[in-house]
Amino acid sequence: MRRYAMMSLLFLFVLIGCAPEETDVLGIKQPDDEKVTKATVERVIDGDTLKVKLADGKTEDVRLLLVDTPETVKPDTPVQPYGTEASAFTKETLPSGTAIRVERDHSRTDRYGRLLAYVWYGDKMLNQELLRKGLARVAFVYEPDTRYVDMFEQIEQEAKQSKKKIWEHDGYVTNRGFDAQAITETKSCEIKGNINRSGKKIYHVPGGQSYDEVKPEQRFCTEKEAEEAGFVRATR
């Protein structure tokens, strides 16, 4: 009887050892082939929005599912901190002509008629990489479009703990979007980012000749942060 009990316990341990880890369950790494459509990037509109040409030749705007990046092109909304960086990352990652895979969930479009999707390039997913780099928050979580939400929330938590980008400033990320006031009120973030009429991105440091007159479209805490966002230092 004792021998039988020992063998049963050994068998149980083997089963437990072979069971998939929780991270494997959460970290779905490959798309659902039945919900994937091949496409080509035409242009990036914003960090979380792009225009693509589907395999059938139809052009569509695609809005990334379950993530939200700071605004850069929303009407009547100033460019939000880190929005320029998020947009730049998406543009650098998916230049015009890039072959991608568009994976839908359950809903096809949002109220603006944009396709809702997870965008894959190679073996990576854009939605996931924006979260990983601290350039997006998990947002607009509505059933039944939640295939990757557990994995996304886990990645977001890691970025938050590491204080990456949007998580550098307490209060900037809210459950309703981004609060730029939380950054502009931070004394250490005094570098002003401005885009002139010709589209050139220039940043001004305290003490500069034009610093006091500049109305910032974006603020930075360090010059490195400004340069990573594509801004160059003012010559005076």
The pLDDT value recorded for residue 12 is: 44
What average pLDDT does the structure give for the chain?
A: 86
Which of 162, 178, 208 is where one domain is finished?
162
Whether residues 111 and 222 fall in one domain? no
Pairing type for strands 59-64 and 67-68 reads unpaired
How far apart, in Å, are the Cα atoms of 16 and each of 4, 11, 24, 26, 203?
Answer: 19, 9, 14, 18, 57
Count: domains in the chain: 2
Q: Which residues of 18-55 are buried (b: 16+ CB within 10 A; e: fewer)?
A: eeeeeeeeeeeeebeeeebbebebbebbbbbbbebeee
Tell me which residue of 114, 125, 119, 127 sits closest to 101, measured CA to CA: 119
Provide φ and ψ at 94, rounded to 5°.
-125, 70
Whether residues 157 and 69 share a domain: the answer is yes
Closest Cα partner for 171 from 158, 156, 157, 186?
186
pTM above 0.75, yes or no: no
Higher pLDDT, 157 or 7: 157
Is pLDDT at 123 greater than 60 in this prediction? yes
Q: Are residues 133 and 93 in the same domain?
A: yes
Task: Give a yes or no: residue 55 inside a domain.
Answer: yes
Whether residue 114 is found in the same domain as residue 155: yes
Q: Domain check: are 117 and 150 in the same one?
A: yes
pLDDT, position 181: 85
Residues 40 and 117 in one domain: yes
Query: What's the confidence (pLDDT) of residue 197?
Result: 78
* 169 inside domain: no
- The CATH number given to whatever domain includes residue 52 is 2.40.50.90
Instruction: Please indicate, yes or no, whether residues 156 and 206 belong to a single structural domain of this protein.
Output: no
Catalytic site residues?
63, 71, 114
21 domain-assigned? no
DSSP-assigned letters across all residues of 9-33: HHHHHHHHHHSPPHHHHH---S--G
Domain that holds residue 150: 33-162
Q: Do 41 and 142 share a structural domain?
A: yes
Of 147, 162, 177, the one marking the end of a domain is 162
For every residue of 96-159, DSSP letters joined together read: TT-EEEEE--S--B-TTSPEEEEEEETTEEHHHHHHHTTS-EE----TT--TTHHHHHHHHHHH
Render pLDDT for 52-94 as a digit per residue (tens, 0 to 9).
999 999 999 999 999 999 998 888 888 898 998 999 999 999 9
In a domain, 174, yes or no: no
Domain boundary pick from 145, 162, 179: 162
